[in-house]
Amino acid sequence: MSENVSQTAEINPDDTMKILVASDIHLGYNEKDPIRGNDSFIAFEEVLQHAQENEVDAILLGGDLFHVANPSTNTLDKCFRLLKTYVLGDSPIRLEFLSDQNDNFIDSLNRKVNYEDPDMNIAIPVFSIHGNHDDTGGAGRISSMQLLSTNGYVNYFGKWTDLNKIEIRPILLRKGETKLALYGLNYMNDARLCRLLDDAKLYMEKPDEPGFFNIMVLHQNRAERGPKNYLPESSLPQFLDLIIWGHEHDCRIEPEENATKKFYVSQPGSTVATSLSEGESIQKCCGLLSIHKGLFRMDPIPLKSVRPFVFESIDLATVQEELALDEGNVQQKVENFATERIEAMIERAKAKLTGYPKQPKLPLIRLRLLLTEVEQQFNAIRFGFRYHGRVANPHDMVVFKKKPKIKVKDELGNALDVAALQAAYRNQREQRVQRAEEIVDRYFREADEAKQLEILNPRSMTELCRMMVDYQDDDAADKIIKFYEDQAQTFLCSQDSTTEESICEALAEFHASNPDMHDKVTSMLDARTNVPDSADPLKRFRDLDDDDASAAGGGAVDTAVTAAASKPARGRGSRGGRGSRGGRGASAARGKAQTSISTIFSQQSANNSSIASVASRTSSRKTATQKARQMDFDSDDE
């Protein structure tokens, strides 16, 4: 990548790899919404159509193909239909595979690239890593990406299994005189990845032969979200030529040069809006990547099937005098102002209609109003009723954000830097943001004695909450609670407990007699698929030491369950005498134990119902110029 190509005659199409690049497809997002349920599938179909029309050699995806690790059968069926329609066929594959496929596809059924499988008829090979939404953390540790790999639709690569070090062996491909080394790193906790990089425990094997163009595809935070909560570009190896960066949803697909390492970064962004933020309103694209020997070019392809989305943020302080917000019915004035802005935004959305046959017509509208006084806020839900049938999201068109009023003077009466104080205020709020499992942890640490758990370990409850929120693992609750119930019954049957009072006394000793109960629970979960500790991605939540926990912070994508959550359970009643063992006494104890445990579990479910609601709410809510290294193709010669 040291010289530019000024004459297009030097570019031989037989030596040029063409790869369609996309990321964060999020198939199945909002699929139960009657208006927006098909948006993700429509956009993905357009991506596949562009691959077919441009006769690309391969498709490269940057993670989060699915919105959840265990998608619905409806989502899987639509995905299989699209892939079968567009990537299967009789077209010849022009990519020669050079590397050891046993190393590249260690988890696939036959450990080989799908277009070399005699039982598959592949026209366009798809290569993909997984992201944080479709990783292997769900029930059974088998994700949707693994299913696609098993069925031969996708070449699933870049999966890591060892948390102590990372060794990445590239996929080596060749077309004519162009050679490509493709490195993949699936999503992992940003704090842990940064630690491995700092400790030089990330090893990327270089090809033995020279002349390879080096691409790395990853799925991490790129924007800084606090210490260790993102992956600094400068921490990646300098020998890379291009990085395809997934996870960030705002489209920055035009390659940007890193001034320090001199490689380029392309951020495709998402193909569907999963949040009504400003970054999601940017034009969504996929990209056509052309590689010729040591040169490359990225041509953005705007997606015409995306639902129109208009975002606007207005500080009411800037229109306070114009609207006379210091007198009269302030709330009505702000509502009238919002009505004018919404109407104007709907008109702007019409300009985003492309004529694509399947493009949804109803637009997404988001108006964010920055308030200076609470009295300026009106009922946004009632306001949205009048826009049913005109916008796709009438219930959350308008959101309010209260600006902190800071009036501070120093000892001499001089005004201080309000902007700096406001920034400090925002940072403090961000640091206080916590995930659902942290709220559950704090709940049990601060709750009074009457609300403490008697049988379940609080750490297991935080683990349960995390699995429900992060992986939508719906069967985790039944398995954990059933495990505790069986363990408690076994414990009581081993005691001389024949009366209800003695059973309650024995339960007070249950946790004291089983200090490793939480570890048994996690072992039980691991045993479902016989996954060794070193190969279990979920172990990253359990094995973090104090440094990891502090580095993860409240805003980390993956947060360690706080060890302090583990408290001895408190029983009811005082210690007393015990009955006799064996015979009818043991049978009576077993029957009373089952009855007592069932009662206690019902009581604790009622006392702590807020935990499930916390999990549910949280689950539904998270240019550099092209220079000498880029190809100067003529579009007519493509």
Which whole-number Å values give the CA distances from 576 to 65, 501, 509, in the listed order? Answer: 59, 9, 12
| Cα 596 from chain centre | 41
> Which range (70-74, 131-135, 491-495, 575-579) has the least confidence?
575-579
What does DSSP say about strands 155-156 and 126-128: parallel, antiparallel, or unpaired?
parallel
Reported as a pLDDT band with limits 50, 70 and 90, residue 633 is very low
What is the average pLDDT across 496-504?
67
* Higher-pLDDT residue of 479, 562: 479
Share of the chain above pLDDT 70, in %: 68
Closest CA to 251 of 276, 272, 224: 272
CATH number attached to the domain at 309-402: 3.30.110.110
Strand partners, 216: 183, 243
For 13-302, CATH number out of 3.30.870.10, 3.40.190.10, 2.60.40.10, 3.60.21.10 equals: 3.60.21.10
510 falls in which pLDDT band (50, 70, 90)? confident
List of residues 6+ apart from 61 with CB closer than 8 A: 22, 23, 25, 126, 127, 128, 129, 154, 246
- Tracing tokens 């959350």 back to the chain, one arrives at 396
Cα separation, 558 vs 553, in Å, equals 9
Query: Is a pLDDT exceeding 80 seen at residue 442?
Result: no
SS3 state at 222: coil
Q: What pLDDT is recorded for position 6?
A: 37
What's the pLDDT at 403?
Answer: 76
**Closest by alpha carbon to 442, among 471, 472, 462, 428?**
462
User: Residue 150 class from Cβ within 10 Å (0-12 exposed, 13-18 middle, 19+ buried)?
Assistant: middle
Helices first, then strands: H and E counts in the chain: 19, 18
Q: What are phi and psi of 245, to 5 degrees?
A: -105, 110
User: What pLDDT was estimated at residue 439?
Assistant: 74
| pLDDT over threshold 70, residue 377 | yes
Count CB neighbours of 424 within 10 A: 12
Q: Is the pLDDT of residue 554 over 70?
A: no
Q: Which two tokens stand for residue 224?
A: 């800084």
381 C-beta neighbours (distance < 10 Å), count: 11
Task: Give me the percent of the chain exceeding a pLDDT of 90.
Answer: 43
Q: Which 3 state secondary structure label does DSSP give 332?
A: helix
Structure tokens that stand for 185 in this block: 């790193």
Above 80 in pLDDT, residue 329? Answer: yes
Instruction: Say yes or no to pLDDT of 395 above 70.
Output: yes
Residues 464 and 541: their CA atoms lie apart, in Å, by 12
Q: Reply yes or no on whether the pLDDT at 172 is more than 70.
A: yes
**So what's the pLDDT on residue 366?**
97
pLDDT of 621 reads 41
Name the residue with higher pLDDT: 446 or 351: 351
* Mean pLDDT over the full length of the chain: 77
Distance between CA atoms of residues 493 and 453, nearest Å: 21
Task: Report d(CA 156, CA 66) in Å as an integer.
Answer: 14
Give the mean pLDDT of 319-342: 92
Q: What is the 3-state secondary structure (H, E, C) of 257-302?
A: ECCCCCCEEEECCCCCCCCCCCHHHCCCEEEEEEEECCEEEEEEEE
Length of the chain: 638
The letter for the amino acid at 177 is E
pLDDT beyond 70 at 113: yes
CB 565 within 8 A of CB 458: yes
Question: Which residue bears the tokens 């935990």?
Answer: 611
pLDDT for res 197: 85
Residue 214: per-residue pLDDT: 96
| CA 51 – CA 46 distance, rounded (Å) | 9
CA-based nearest residue to 84, from 148, 177, 161: 148
Among 120, 113, 115, residue whose Cα is nearest residue 99: 113
The model carries a pTM of 0.67
Token code pair at residue 252: 């920055």
Distance set, CA 587 to CA 153, 244, 581, 582 (Å): 56, 64, 10, 8
Residue 473 confidence (pLDDT): 63
Q: Which helix (H) or strand (E) holds 338?
A: helix 330-350
Same fold, 13-302 and 309-402: no
128 φ, ψ (degrees, to nearest 5):
-150, 145
Is the pLDDT score of 558 beyond 80?
Answer: no
**188 burial via Cβ count (<10 Å: 0-12, 13-18, 19+):** buried
b/e per residue 260-289 (b: at least 16 CB within 10 A): ebebbbbbbbbbbbbebeebbbbebbbbbb
Mean pLDDT check: name the lowest of 138-152, 497-511, 515-529, 552-566. Answer: 552-566
pLDDT of res. 611: 46
| Lowest-pLDDT choice from 14-28, 79-93, 563-577, 605-619 | 563-577
511 catalytic per annotation: no
Over residues 10-66, the pLDDT tens digits come to 788 899 999 999 999 999 999 999 999 999 999 999 999 999 999 999 999 999 999
Most confident among 71-75, 142-146, 511-515, 539-543 (mean pLDDT): 71-75
Annotated catalytic residue within 133, 219, 249, 292? 133
For residue 511, the model assigns a pLDDT of 66
Is there a contact between 69 and 137 (Cβ–Cβ < 8 Å)? yes
| The dihedral formed by the CA atoms of 184, 187, 188 and 194, expressed in degrees to the nearest 10 | 60
Kindly tell me the burial class for residue 72, based on how many C-beta atoms sit within 10 Å of its own C-beta (0-12, 13-18, 19 or more): middle
131: Cβ–Cβ under 8 A, 6 or more apart, which residues? 24, 62, 63, 64, 65, 186, 187, 219, 246, 247
Q: Looking at per-residue confidence, does 82 or 626 come out higher?
A: 82
pLDDT per residue as tens digits for the range 230-263: 888 888 999 999 999 999 999 999 999 999 999 9
Distance between CA atoms of 353 and 362, rounded to whole angstroms? 10
Question: Whose structure tokens read 């997984």?
Answer: 130
Q: Where are the domains of the chain?
A: 13-302, 309-402, 409-511
C-alpha to C-alpha distances, 362 to 31, 115, 280, 352, nearest whole angstrom: 16, 40, 16, 11
Of the pLDDT bands very low, low, confident and very high (cuts 50, 70, 90), residue 490 is confident
pLDDT, greater one: 141 or 504? 504
